[in-house]
């Protein structure tokens, strides 16, 4: 009886196993900086979701008597105004209703609130751009690599062609065109629908299109390369010998193997997306006011840099810490999943 139990215990231990994912997570946890980056990213996601809780005012709330206030400067407001507009009224944080934590901008909007709401813009860009480029790139690259031959040739030449087009002028033209049309109205239902969509997204639609159009190309190339190498592997041949069809090979064997490197490439690309959105907003091609994009906020504060540096400094700090955190996290993920870099095992 006791030996039976011993054997059973031993066998249960033999049955224990670590998947490649578990291995990678263990490796990731060892990397302190990457874990720090990830914690910060999770924190920012939390802040974005509960933005009204973290900010005293709405991002669009103007208070023209208190424009260009310095950080921690007191408000000149009435009690009834605070009671009506301030999220923090009647809470332990009530002092925030009468103090500009990070100052205010030219229209007297609370900069702290705008920065908090700005996390939503940056993160939605990160999420939308990375998932769109991942899905399109994965499908396009897998089809191209798996089909091979002339189909592959044609599809990849299209990617090369799109790579060669400078996208910035096209985005400028598109934005200018749609802005002009939206003032006049258009007969075309497609254009009208696009304008509506853009307005409801706070002017983010073209930023999405621009970033998506730019980045699926790289993902498609990566996916194609991975598929090309995996489809020649013997385990794929073994599946064929067992009678597996194309669908089985693609979904059971290729995509699980290709997805890892692609996800890591995406996590490394996210800082770029966030930065590109900020850059587009900075040059006036991104979001439309009053959407609180960090890039747009830097642009607004930039003209008064000497007298009111805080208008540039705070959004700048937010932007750089978030991109840095994503960078550290991406580096950590890459190191954790790339077994070749794993020194010990």
Tell the burial category of 224 from Cβ atoms under 10 Å away from its Cβ (0-12, 13-18, 19+). Answer: buried
Decide whether 12 or 188 has the Cβ nearer to other proteins.
Answer: 12
**Nearest 10 degrees: Cα torsion 261, 267, 269, 273:** 150
20 is a contact residue toward other proteins (CB under 8 A): yes
Please identify which residue in 2, 19, 78, 307 interacts with other proteins, judged by CB under 8 A.
19
Phi then psi for 104, rounded to 5 degrees?
-140, 165
Print the binding letters for residues 108-137 with other proteins: x by CB under 8 A, - otherwise: ------------------------------
Please identify which residue in 77, 240, 263, 304 interacts with other proteins, judged by CB under 8 A.
240
Closest contact distance (angstroms) between CB of 325 and other proteins is 29
Question: What is the phi-psi region of residue 287: left when phi exceeds 0, alpha when psi lies from -120 to 50, beta otherwise?
Answer: beta
The three state secondary structure string of 166-188 is CHHHHHHHHHHHHHHHHHHCCCC
**Nearest 10 degrees: Cα torsion 56, 59, 64, 66:** 40
- Is 171 in contact with 285 (CB distance < 8 Å)? yes
Please identify which residue in 253, 282, 315, 325 interacts with other proteins, judged by CB under 8 A.
253
Region near other proteins per CB under 8 A, out of 69-77, 205-213, 248-256, 292-300: 248-256
Residue 110 DSSP label: B
Decide whether 50 or 235 has the Cβ nearer to other proteins.
Answer: 235
Dig out the tokens for 227 from the structure: 């598929």
- Residue 201 has a CB neighbour count (10 Å cut-off) of 17
- Per-residue DSSP letters for 269-311? HHHHHHHHHHHHHHTT-SPPTTS--HHHHHHHHHTTTTT-THH
3 is a contact residue toward other proteins (CB under 8 A): no
Please identify which residue in 2, 3, 4, 15 interacts with other proteins, judged by CB under 8 A.
15
Residues numbered 140 to 159 that lie near other proteins (CB under 8 A) are: 150, 153
233 is a contact residue toward other proteins (CB under 8 A): yes
231 is a contact residue toward other proteins (CB under 8 A): no
343 is a contact residue toward other proteins (CB under 8 A): no
241 is a contact residue toward other proteins (CB under 8 A): yes
Region near other proteins per CB under 8 A, out of 51-59, 171-179, 235-243, 308-316: 235-243
Please identify which residue in 3, 11, 184, 307 interacts with other proteins, judged by CB under 8 A.
11
Dig out the tokens for 141 from the structure: 């690259």
Decide whether 70 or 157 has the Cβ nearer to other proteins.
Answer: 157
Residue 103 DSSP label: -
What kind and span of H or E run contains 333? helix 310-337
Closest contact distance (angstroms) between CB of 254 and other proteins is 10
Q: Say how far apart CA 40 and CA 325 lie, in whole Å.
A: 6
18 is a contact residue toward other proteins (CB under 8 A): yes
Decide whether 46 or 235 has the Cβ nearer to other proteins.
Answer: 235
Q: Which residues bind other proteins (CB under 8 A)?
A: 11-12, 14-20, 150, 153, 233-235, 237-244, 248, 252-253, 256-257
């Amino acid at each position: 009886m006791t030996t039976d139990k011993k054997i059973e215990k031993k066998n249960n231990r033999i049955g224990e196993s670590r998947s490649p994912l578990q291995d990678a997570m263990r490796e990731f946890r060892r990397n302190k900086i990457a874990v720090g980056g990830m914690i910060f990213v999770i924190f920012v996601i939390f802040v974005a979701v509960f933005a009204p809780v973290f900010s005293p005012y709405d991002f669009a709330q103007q208070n023209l008597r208190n424009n260009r206030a310095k950080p921690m400067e007191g408000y000149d407001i009435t009690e009834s105004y605070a009671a009506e507009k301030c999220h923090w009224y009647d809470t332990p944080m009530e002092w925030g209703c009468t103090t500009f934590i990070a100052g205010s901008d030219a229209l007297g909007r609370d900069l702290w609130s705008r920065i908090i709401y700005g996390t939503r813009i940056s993160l939605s860009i990160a999420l939308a751009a990375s998932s769109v480029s991942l899905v399109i790139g994965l499908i396009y690259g897998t089809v191209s690599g798996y089909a091979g031959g002339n189909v592959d040739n044609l599809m990849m030449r299209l990617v090369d062609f799109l790579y060669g087009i400078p996208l910035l002028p096209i985005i400028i033209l598109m934005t200018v065109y749609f802005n002009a049309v939206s003032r006049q109205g258009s007969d075309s239902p497609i254009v009208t629908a696009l304008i509506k969509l853009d307005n409801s997204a706070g002017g983010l639609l073209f930023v999405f299109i621009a970033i998506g159009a730019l980045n699926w190309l790289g993902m498609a190339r990566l996916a194609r390369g991975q598929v090309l190498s995996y489809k020649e592997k013997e385990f794929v041949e073994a599946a064929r010998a067992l009678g597996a069809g194309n669908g089985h090979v693609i979904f059971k064997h290729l995509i699980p193997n290709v997805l890892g490197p692609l996800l890591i490439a995406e996590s490394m690309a996210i800082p770029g997306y966030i930065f590109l959105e900020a850059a587009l907003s900075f040059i006036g091609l991104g979001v439309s006011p009053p959407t609180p994009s960090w890039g747009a906020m830097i642009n607004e504060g930039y003209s008064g840099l000497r007298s009111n540096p805080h208008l540039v400094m705070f959004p700048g700090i937010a932007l750089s810490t978030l991109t840095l955190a994503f960078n550290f996290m991406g580096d950590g993920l890459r190191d954790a999943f790339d077994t070749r870099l794993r020194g010990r095992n």
